[in-house]
Structure 1
Amino acid sequence: MTSTPLLPAVDARPVEALRLQSVVKTYGSGANAVSALRGVDLVLAKGSVTAIMGPSGSGKSTLLHSAAGLDKPTSGSVHLGGTEISGLRASQLTAFRRDHVGFVFQAYNLLPALDVEENITLPLRLAGRRLDPRWLDSLLDAVGLADRRHRRPAELSGGQQQRVAIARALITRPYVVFGDEPTGALDSRSGKQVLDLLAHTAKELDQTVVVVTHDPVVASHADRVIFLADGAFAGHLDGGTPAQITDRMSALGEW
């Protein structure tokens, strides 16, 4: 009988949702080494919405994956909800990420044989955790799918499927919800609905949201836009309009 790995104590009400300190990520070695992140420092407050932008190859997805515990930094530390996840063993990190990290991919990754409710609650079943029916009802209302809870993915539009994926990411009440181009496969109307929903959950559910995007309209929904270039921070913009964000991206050579 295998024992469940013990996790470090976690602050149940952290003020800081996420902290990265001097995070470096290098792929390869010697002359073939590529530095994807070069000493990144970042602190995000609980309940904030942050967009990460930058030219192709700037380190956006690497930063997101490192912050979410999907990839381990070469050096530096990542603290999520008060716990240093960069120091956890693989088994500990898997258990922690399952319970405390939500991730919304560009591909919806819904199981076609399961209905909306079953897809949303799948992470709880996999973790052997009990479902809170009131929380499920609250999420279904928040994503506007209360009347479609028993529909299967094939019966939903692309925007509705992405809303299911967002609710699934929220069902475990994670410290942070990460999105890797979560609107990239959607039309502009559906994409706006998804970003409005993420902003709503951040404010109403005190949920921290971090998204990587290339779309200035999407980024304009965030409280702060962080710009990356060559694996390092290249500035930020608070409350920027799509035009202002486009101008900043132009300065980085994106457009």
Structure 2
Amino acid sequence: MQAGDALRLENIVKTYGSGANAVPALRGVDLTLARGTFTAIMGPSGSGKSTLLHSAAGLDRPTSGRVILGDTEVSSLSARRLTEFRRDHVGFVFQAYNLLPALNVEENITLPLRLARQRLDREWLDFLLESVGLSERRRRRPSELSGGQQQRVAIARALITRPYVVFGDEPTGALDSRSGKQVLDLLAHTTKALAQTVVMVTHDPVVASHADRVIFLADGAFAGHLDGATPAEITDRMSALGEW
């Protein structure tokens, strides 16, 4: 790892099944992301986007290759140490909100801190609640929120520990355009203010255009990238990959 690198993937291969039934999902992917960057991952259906995200986040072990987050090779950690590492250093925003119904908004957001026995920074919590538009709903239970509001709770929860890397699988998929922009602006802000690294999978060129870099996958392999791209440029690249 070079100084300033947040995430490094070295020759990541992921195969499901074995023998004649083996299905390759990732075919030797190499990727290095610097700290304080915002990266979107795109590609046609079945290109390996979610598999790459899960492998990078330590949710799924690659068949071969190395995953390094900061100075830690997470692909070699035991299950217990990997769980602890993810809790303390990684944030997740996935399509399933995974909120606890018995807890209110504020309690759901601060749950990772309680599990890690870390001190709550009240000012940071208030900033996150304001940024995702939920300051007036902090005492509501998930059942009293819309799907989009629940997703915003999940996003604030992913950021509350100021994690080293935040991974998102379609993090704005359940949000309207205004709420989605709020969340994307917040993620862009944290990359700069906290030198945080954000990696998200999306199918939406408008969402991807908020990222510093868009990485394209096809058939489980790296298929190029665009920096500072417009939605039109991203759409053209996706069209060339056969998505539309």
User: TM-score, normalized by length of structure 1?
Assistant: 0.89
Q: Could you tell me which residue of structure 2 aligns to residue 102 of structure 1?
A: 91
Give the distance between the partners of 1:26 and 1:214, measured in 2 at CA: 23
| 1:174 aligns to 2:163 (yes or no) | yes
Does the 8 Å CA contact 1:159/1:194 hold for their aligned counterparts?
A: no
3-state SS of paired residue (2:36): coil
Could you tell me which amino acid in structure 2 is paired with residue 133 of structure 1? Answer: R
Structure 1 unaligned residues grouped into runs of 5+: 1-10
TM-fit CA distance, 1:148: 2.8
Give the distance between the partners of 1:177 and 1:153, measured in 2 at CA: 22
Give the distance between the partners of 1:167 and 1:198, measured in 2 at CA: 10
| 1:227 aligns to 2:216 (yes or no) | yes
Q: Name the stretch that deviates more: 178-187 or 124-133.
A: 124-133
3-state SS of paired residue (2:223): strand
Does the 8 Å CA contact 2:16/2:25 hold for their aligned counterparts?
A: yes
| 1:253 aligns to 2:242 (yes or no) | yes
Q: Could you tell me which residue of structure 2 aligns to residue 4 of structure 1?
A: none
Indicate which of 36, 48, 51 corresponds to 2:40.
Answer: 51
Indicate which of 53, 64, 73 corresponds to 2:53.
Answer: 64
Does the 8 Å CA contact 1:159/1:191 hold for their aligned counterparts?
A: no
Q: Could you tell me which residue of structure 2 aligns to residue 88 of structure 1?
A: 77
What is the CA RMSD across the aligned residues, in angstroms?
Answer: 1.7
Give the distance between the partners of 1:81 and 1:201, measured in 2 at CA: 17
Change in 2 beyond 3 A, CA 1:16/1:163? same
Indicate which of 137, 144, 158 corresponds to 2:133.
Answer: 144
Indicate which of 28, 40, 44 corresponds to 2:17.
Answer: 28
Q: Could you tell me which residue of structure 2 aligns to residue 17 of structure 1?
A: 6
Give the distance between the partners of 2:137 and 2:193, measured in 1 at CA: 22
TM-fit CA distance, 1:189: 3.1
Give the distance between the partners of 2:130 and 2:191, measured in 1 at CA: 15
User: TM-score, normalized by length of structure 2?
Assistant: 0.93
Structure 2 unaligned residues grouped into runs of 5+: none
Q: Could you tell me which residue of structure 2 aligns to residue 218 of structure 1?
A: 207
Give the distance between the partners of 2:130 and 2:177, measured in 1 at CA: 22
